[in-house]
Amino acid sequence: MKTRSFLLSLPLVAVVALSVFGKETTTSKTSVKPGINEKFLDPELKVDDWLKRFEVESREVFQEREAVLKACGVEKGMVVADIGAGTGLYTRLFSEAVGPDGWVAAVDISGPMLKHIVARAEQEGQDNITAILSPEDSTSLPPDTLDLAFICDTYHHFEYPADTLKSLVNSIKKGGSVVVIDFERIEGVSREWLLGHVRAGKEVFRKEIEDAGLTFVEEVKIPGFKENYFLRFQKD
């Protein structure tokens, strides 16, 4: 199928990704938050520990996953990238939503996370998923292929946002969408952990994304979101 063509050269377990599992990534660029991804670059990362943190009802994006999926507007046959896929929660949801004629790219900097996604996909018979191990400054996706890029609680982990966004925008089809879900960071309002962990607020992130060439479309209110926000952008 046409929607699969850009990924047919990569099997479910992306050959490029597996060949560099455990390989240290380096860059000469200036980091906006040094060390933000250190734990995810650990080749000995224990995925089970993160499952207990990511896929629990106390996490807003897990509790509201069906509302988020609906708001994304995913349709059958789409090509979707889950950027910073983590344990693959939304990768699996997108796989079902796009159906057998669609495709999902699970993009992450963590080899162990991607191995988990691949194993889970094989277990559940989701054969429209490709795992892609990316460096810290690129999505490693081919140009003009995506109908939707989904970035959930991950944008604040972009250590080199300008370069990563340039790569991402290049991979999106004209008229394609980008959904960004991240944490509200408001001095005097947000809890201490968020103020220390998330480098900037919604307005700063929105400007960075617009400066990369995407057009802001709307902010979608998800009923159960108290600390998160949902922004939609488009490539004109």
Give pLDDT tens digits for 142-190: 999 999 999 999 999 999 999 999 999 999 999 999 999 999 999 999 9
Please state, in angstroms and rounded to a whole number, the distance separating the CA atoms of residues 110 and 119.
15
DSSP 49-98: HHHHHHSSTTSHHHHTHHHHHHHHT--TT-EEEEET-TT-HHHHHHHHHH
Please state, in angstroms and rounded to a whole number, the distance separating the CA atoms of residues 208 and 204.
6
Of 59, 41, 120, 110, residue with least CA distance to 88 = 120
Mean pLDDT of all residues belonging to the chain: 90
Structure tokens at 217: 């479309």
Give pLDDT tens digits for 51-85: 999 999 989 999 999 999 999 999 999 999 999 99
Structure tokens at 108: 């992450």
CATH number of 2-17+54-234: 3.40.50.150
Across residues 188-217, what is the average pLDDT?
Answer: 97
Query: What pLDDT does 77 receive?
Result: 98
Which residues make Cβ contacts (< 8 Å) with residue 51, sequence separation at least 6? Answer: 87
- The amino acid that residue 129 corresponds to is I
Contact predicate 209/177, CB 8 Å: no
- Determine whether 231 is exposed, middle or buried from the number of CB atoms within 10 Å of its CB (0-12, 13-18, 19+): buried
DSSP 171-207: HEEEEEEEEEEEE---TTTS-HHHHHH--S-HHHHHH
Please state, in angstroms and rounded to a whole number, the distance separating the CA atoms of residues 177 and 194.
27
Across residues 7-15, what is the average pLDDT?
Answer: 41
Residue % of the chain over a pLDDT of 90: 86
β-sheet bridge partners, residue 228: 183
Domain borders along the chain are 2-17+54-234
β-sheet bridge partners, residue 149: 81, 178
Q: Which of 17-26, 90-99, 142-151 has the lowest mean pLDDT?
A: 17-26
Query: What pTM was estimated for this model as a whole?
Result: 0.90
The answer to whether residue 39 scores a pLDDT higher than 70 is yes
